[in-house]
């Protein structure tokens, strides 16, 4: 079976999580392909309401493998919190089930600080970001100075990278925006602990997707936000910082268009 893409047809919040949850029984892998914890899918099942920001919405279906793809930017603090919340409900969140693509980029506290500083500096022209560091993290990715999740395989080296990038961001925060610097030591220590926790979840996301499709299994691709928030095709500049259209699944997860069997656009009435 090929890939099925679920895309928001408007500005997000259309109910994609419910659609993903409904399609999950036929999927072997459910993969999130864009955005970060600025997005959220709410799933209500068995008396529990889960507000998921990074883990794919199909996590309550025990047979599915859930992949956070390379096109996603990841706040490890939020991801660890989600895994803990799910585990407390008895959901399997072991590394064999929840996987993180090694080429996903990592959000730092300084990314969030820069996001807020830039919004305040815009004044009445503010874009209305969630101030969760999404835009600055994608900016670092494009500038080729960002940190990838794969670096967490070496927690000590990862912590050193976190410290260096935090220092670079602090120079901007203090000199350009007049803000207090973020603690380099505390940030590096916290991210060392996150790396220890998450390193076993790391995987070559594109290889997992290729194997899934080659073996005839269904890949269900979960988009965040919506088409009108797409960086290239949305209501610019009031958009998100990633590709929220169907094509974002191909670049965010690493597979070709011939594998796509169906694109489902989710809309709601206002």
Q: Per-residue pLDDT for 1 more than 80?
A: no
Kind and range of the H or E run holding 141: helix 134-143
Looking at the predicted structure, is the pLDDT value of residue 217 above 70?
A: yes
Rounded to whole angstroms, the Cα distance separating 131 from 113 reads: 8
Task: State the chain's mean pLDDT as an integer.
Answer: 93
**41, 61, 111, 201: which is the annotated catalytic residue?**
41
Torsion of CA 19, 20, 25, 29, to 10 degrees: 160
Please state, in angstroms and as integers, the Cα–Cα distance from residue 184 to each residue in 54, 162, 268, following that order: 25, 8, 44
Give, as one character, the DSSP assignment of residue 257. G
Annotated catalytic residue within 13, 28, 204, 233: 13
Please give the average per-residue pLDDT across 220-235, as a whole number: 95
pLDDT attached to residue 40: 72
What is residue 45's predicted lDDT score, i.e. its pLDDT? 65
pLDDT score of 227 more than 90: yes
Whether the Cβ atoms of residue 223 and residue 253 lie closer than 8 Å to each other:
no
Whether the pTM exceeds 0.75: the reply is: yes
Measure the CA–CA gap between 30 and 200, rounded to whole angstroms: 19
Is residue 125 scored above 80 in pLDDT? no
Across residues 20-49, what is the average pLDDT? 85
Q: In percent, how much of the chain has pLDDT > 90?
A: 80
Distance of CA 113 to the CA centre of its chain: 18
41 catalytic? Reply is: yes
Rounded Cα distance between 198 and 175, Å, is: 34
- Tell me if residue 268 falls in helix, strand or coil: coil
> Which of 33-42, 91-100, 185-194 shows the lowest per-residue confidence on average (mean pLDDT)?
33-42
Residue 237: Cβ-neighbour burial (10 angstroms; 0-12, 13-18, 19+): exposed
DSSP result, 148-216 = BGGGGGSHHHHHHHHHHHHHHHHHHHHHTT-PPPPPHHHHHHHHHHHHHHHGGGEE-HHHHHHHHHHTT
More reliable by pLDDT, 80 or 21: 80
pLDDT at 105 over 90: yes
DSSP string, 2-65: -EEEEEESSSS-SSHHHHHHHHGGG-SEEEE-SB-TT--EEEEETTEEEEESSS-GGGGSTT-E
| Residue 46 reports pLDDT greater than 80 | no
Angle, vertex CA 35, rays to CA 16 and CA 105, nearest 5: 145
At 141-159, the pLDDT tens digits run 999 999 999 999 999 999 9
Q: Is 84 a catalytic residue?
A: no
Quickly state the pLDDT bin for 89 (edges 50, 70, 90). confident
> Which tops the pLDDT comparison, 119 or 255?
255
């Amino acid at each position: 079976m090929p890939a099925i893409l679920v895309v928001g047809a408007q500005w997000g919040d259309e109910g994609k999580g419910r659609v993903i949850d409904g399609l999950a029984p036929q999927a072997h892998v459910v993969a999130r392909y864009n955005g970060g914890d600025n997005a959220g899918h709410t799933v209500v099942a068995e008396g529990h309401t889960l507000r998921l920001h990074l883990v794919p919405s199909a996590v309550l279906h025990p047979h599915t493998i859930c992949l956070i793809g390379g096109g996603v930017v990841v706040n490890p603090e939020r991801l660890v919190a989600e895994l803990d919340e799910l585990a407390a409900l008895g959901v399997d969140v072991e590394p064999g089930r929840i996987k993180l693509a090694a080429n996903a980029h990592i959000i730092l506290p300084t990314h969030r600080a820069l996001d807020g500083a830039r919004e305040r500096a815009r004044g009445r022209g503010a874009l209305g970001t969630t101030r969760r560091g999404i835009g600055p993290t994608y900016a670092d990715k494009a500038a080729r100075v960002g940190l990838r999740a794969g670096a967490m395989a070496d927690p000590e080296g990862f912590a050193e990278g976190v410290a260096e990038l935090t220092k670079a961001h602090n120079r901007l925060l203090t000199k350009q925006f007049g803000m207090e610097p973020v603690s380099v030591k505390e940030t590096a220590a916290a991210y060392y602990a996150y790396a220890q926790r998450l390193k076993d979840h790391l995987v070559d996301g594109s290889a997992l997707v290729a194997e899934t499709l080659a073996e005839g299994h269904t890949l269900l691709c979960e988009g965040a936000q919506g088409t009108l928030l797409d960086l290239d095709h949305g209501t610019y500049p009031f958009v998100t910082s990633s590709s929220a259209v169907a094509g974002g699944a191909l670049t965010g997860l690493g597979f070709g268009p011939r594998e796509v069997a169906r694109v489902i656009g989710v809309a709601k009435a206002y």
